[in-house]
């Protein structure tokens, strides 16, 4: 992102260019895939010079991540995505959230860009660290906050590690999407929530 001090007009032009670049990157990766995504192509689509992009982003992966972050935080309107629902019913709230994740992952508009971003994260430790700090970390904190509320309400075991709990609830959906090991449905989301809450061991009816 631009950090240099500039006059107001310049600054407005910079912000307009920045948004055009982010939008172009997100749209293009959905059209051509990550392997064929080029800085040249993004520059042409955004109507800026290549040098403008190189000045602001160190890599294609970093640019894509910013594009993704801009889109997802815009979606939340408040710049952070906001807290998880809390109706007092942990299972119902988690199902609502997981079903929304399923819908997003099944949306063709998001599928390719998210696979591209995921690939970059898998291969680029620096980008993974940035992702953990700027996106996964804050979102994980919101999930843990919902689980803490459930614990206070007596709906979560005292000795459960909240990071492990988040991984059990949200991990299976991501894996099934990435590896296409089965259909990604609301029914699957519900099963994951119910099974994670209740556990695999025998239980009382």
In whole angstroms, how close is the CB of 36 to its own copies at the nearest point? Answer: 12
Residue 88 and residue 156 in contact, taking contact as beta carbons nearer than 8 Å:
no
Among 190, 13, 183, smallest CA distance to 92 is for 190
In whole angstroms, how close is the CB of 22 to its own copies at the nearest point? Answer: 22
In whole angstroms, how close is the CB of 15 to its own copies at the nearest point? Answer: 31
Question: Closer CB to its own copies, residue 100 or residue 164?
Answer: 164
Classify residue 14 as exposed, middle or buried by CB count within 10 Å of its CB (0-12, 13-18, 19+): middle
In whole angstroms, how close is the CB of 187 to its own copies at the nearest point? Answer: 10
Distance between CA 189 and CA 97 in Å, rounded? 9
Classify residue 199 as exposed, middle or buried by CB count within 10 Å of its CB (0-12, 13-18, 19+): exposed
Question: Closer CB to its own copies, residue 14 or residue 119?
Answer: 119
In whole angstroms, how close is the CB of 71 to its own copies at the nearest point? Answer: 19
Residue with tokens 């929530």: 193
Question: Closer CB to its own copies, residue 78 or residue 204?
Answer: 204
Question: Closer CB to its own copies, residue 62 or residue 178?
Answer: 178
Question: Closer CB to its own copies, residue 110 or residue 131?
Answer: 131
Tell me which long-range contacts 36-42 makes (C-beta under 8 A, separation of at least 24): 37/64, 37/116, 39/63
Question: Closer CB to its own copies, residue 48 or residue 192?
Answer: 192
The token pair at 68 is 């993704």
Nearest 10 degrees: CA dihedral of 175, 181, 187, 193? -30
In whole angstroms, how close is the CB of 171 to its own copies at the nearest point? Answer: 4
What is the binding site for its own copies (CB under 8 A)?
Answer: 33-35, 115, 118-119, 121-123, 125, 128-129, 131-132, 136, 140, 147, 154-158, 160-161, 163-165, 167-169, 171-172, 174-176, 178-182, 188, 191-192, 195-203
């Amino acid at each position: 992102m631009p950090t240099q001090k500039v006059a107001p007009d310049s600054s407005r032009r910079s912000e307009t260019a920045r948004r055009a670049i982010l939008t172009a990157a997100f749209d293009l990766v959905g059209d051509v895939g990550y392997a064929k995504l080029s800085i040249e192509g993004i520059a042409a689509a955004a109507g800026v010079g290549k040098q403008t992009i190189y000045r602001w982003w160190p890599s294609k992966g970093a640019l894509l991540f910013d594009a993704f972050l801009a889109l997802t935080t815009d979606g939340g309107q408040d710049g952070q995505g906001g807290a998880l629902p809390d109706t007092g019913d942990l299972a119902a709230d988690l199902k609502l959230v997981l079903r929304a994740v399923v819908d997003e992952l099944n949306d063709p508009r998001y599928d390719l860009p998210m696979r591209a971003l995921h690939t970059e994260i898998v291969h680029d430790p620096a980008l993974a660290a940035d992702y953990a700090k700027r996106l996964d970390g804050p979102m994980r904190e919101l999930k843990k906050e919902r689980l803490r509320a459930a614990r206070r309400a007596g709906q979560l075991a005292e000795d459960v590690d909240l990071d492990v709990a988040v991984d059990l609830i949200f991990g299976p959906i991501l894996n099934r999407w990435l590896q296409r090991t089965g259909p990604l449905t609301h029914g699957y989301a519900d099963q994951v929530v119910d099974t994670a809450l209740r556990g695999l061991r025998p239980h009382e009816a």
